[in-house]
Structure 1
């Protein structure tokens, strides 16, 4: 016999499930989804049981229903985001309605991909209007950013997308560190202490303003004799700008097989991190750079607005129902 509290819990779950079944039968899908969310919060093991437990037919049905309703919710909420065909295709792939069709070799962003968006592994700084002036304005404050290097204390590898569970990547957590000044479009506590002059500069429309996806502004420090293995960024809607703080001619970035070293005359490096890329500091001293997210300049104003709206919707949806959307992966193994 089950203890009283377990009987009460089972009775509560059965009551929620009966109500959900009735809601679905009557086409009240949004309310049913909200109830699945409540069920997941109160009894997560019912919708996401451990691998060692078998799943009943009824349980599998509810897992499928919860995941399908969550995905349906995202599709409905984003269907009006379609200023151009390529944005429409991007939204479709994000919602799982179509496959991402990468159109450039070595390019495979893990999260958001806008097809037919011009790019190259290392775009010219002059290909972005006003970017050279922006770099010069920030470089004027290099002394301030250098003074921040001693405060670097975050494990940067924890802030990039999922990486392989290998010893090489695990070792990197000890020798690749960062200090975020802006994260997901919001100034961090350290960023709030930036001089007003710098705050004014980073309000530039060049920054890929689409919270919580971007922009990020971070000081990245790579220890001596350290290599970052090849990996992909999470989207192709932004380019990555590196402004040198402490660099040497034995450090480089490689993207899509093309390598750019930090020569003395290089005022910045601009690259598209949706391509497979890596980096290495081959010197005996640290390498430090200031990193910023810049819009891919080939996105129109309307497309940028769409992406910003999409990221706002996706962030809210992910917080509410994102965990439900992938519950049925186990059932397809």
Structure 2
């Protein structure tokens, strides 16, 4: 243990010298190395008392990480709303939402028109895609028996409440596309069906989207209110196995799936929930599509932003939240 302490001390002293010389990129890389080798030094248990020296370096590591994100992304933005979104993502500007019920957990584009529900006819070319997907419904139905993944684990951090714990046993899924990449499961589908996922309507911005997934909600299951990650995309539901009792609630507006429903289109950055009070499972095909009010140039900006963010996150993302215990 003493050897570890001596090594940590040497590393921290060298980092302090880098900071004094304004060699911030080198200092950040060194902090990342310390965190990898000795994570407990920069991320101690909440109850562990901290010296001022140690707290200073926790702050430094987090601040340098956030600085790196800003440096990587601040040049992105062909329009004022994308520039503002980048600033909010990097913490330079405070997030200000236009709607009380719309608070995406990750990326928010201000002044981007939307509503809880929309019609497929409002998006050019979407009805044609819906028709082709509906024609292929039998292919998707044949995959439902493979939808055994826990979907709660796929939607990000959720509250540790009884409702969410119970849901983890009652909401299953099978991804056909994840983070913009076709999965092994999708190979069960005919090639002409898989080719539909190449549509420019889908929100192609790896590693965050698009997602194409079969979602199965078991009888009596309830999905508590939550927010999606961003308003850059809308969510398309193609009903596979439905009943008249299951419903989707988006910002207080309820809609049901039925055999006559071709599709439901909504913005999941608005608070939304779902329930299946029936005695049979409900299954839908979920697809991420671009918010149609984004320009092509803005979509390219977002794709670049996601690439830069993914690269930063892989190297330094964990450091950015080290100082959350102080706030």
- Which band: TM-score by shorter chain? over 0.9
Within a 5 Å distance, the mapping from 1:90-169 to structure 2 comes to 90-169=85-164
Q: Within 1, Cα distance between the matches of 2:87 and 2:189?
A: 39
Residues 261-301 of structure 1, C-alpha deviations (whole Å, 9 max, x = no match): 12332100000001111111122111100000000000000
Contact 1:71/1:95 (CA < 8 Å) preserved in 2? Answer: yes
Deviation of the 1:326 alpha carbon: 0.8
Matched, 1:71 2:57: no
Contact 2:143/2:188 (CA < 8 Å) preserved in 1? Answer: no
> Which residue is equivalent to 2:306?
311
Residues 63-118 of structure 1, C-alpha deviations (whole Å, 9 max, x = no match): 11111100000000001111111111111111111111110231111111001100
> Which residue is equivalent to 1:3?
none
- Please identify, of 107-116 and 222-231, the stretch whose mean Cα deviation from structure 2 is larger: 222-231
Contact 1:161/1:233 (CA < 8 Å) preserved in 2? Answer: no
> Which residue is equivalent to 1:47?
42
Q: Within 2, Cα distance between the matches of 1:8 and 1:154?
A: 44
Q: Within 2, Cα distance between the matches of 1:70 and 1:290?
A: 38
Q: Within 1, Cα distance between the matches of 2:270 and 2:84?
A: 20
Number of equivalent positions: 327
- Please identify, of 189-198 and 51-60, the stretch whose mean Cα deviation from structure 2 is larger: 189-198
- Please identify, of 161-170 and 290-299, the stretch whose mean Cα deviation from structure 2 is larger: 161-170
Consecutive unaligned residues of structure 2, counting only runs of 5 or more, are none
> Which residue is equivalent to 2:175?
180
Q: Within 1, Cα distance between the matches of 2:224 and 2:323?
A: 32
Aligned-CA RMSD value: 1.0
Q: Secondary structure at the match of 2:213?
A: strand
Deviation of the 1:15 alpha carbon: 1.4
Deviation of the 1:248 alpha carbon: 1.2
Contact 1:208/1:238 (CA < 8 Å) preserved in 2? Answer: yes
Q: Secondary structure at the match of 2:323?
A: helix
Residues 168-208 of structure 1, C-alpha deviations (whole Å, 9 max, x = no match): 11111111110011111111211244321012111000000
Matched, 1:298 2:293: yes
Matched, 1:206 2:201: yes
* TM-score, with structure 2 as normaliser: 0.98
Deviation of the 1:152 alpha carbon: 1.0
Q: Secondary structure at the match of 1:109?
A: coil
Q: Secondary structure at the match of 2:316?
A: helix
| Residue from 194, 202, 215 that aligns with 2:210 | 215
Matched, 1:85 2:80: yes
Q: Within 2, Cα distance between the matches of 1:98 and 1:127?
A: 32
Residues 206-254 of structure 1, C-alpha deviations (whole Å, 9 max, x = no match): 0001111100000000111222111111111100000011011111111
| Residue from 45, 54, 58 that aligns with 1:59 | 54
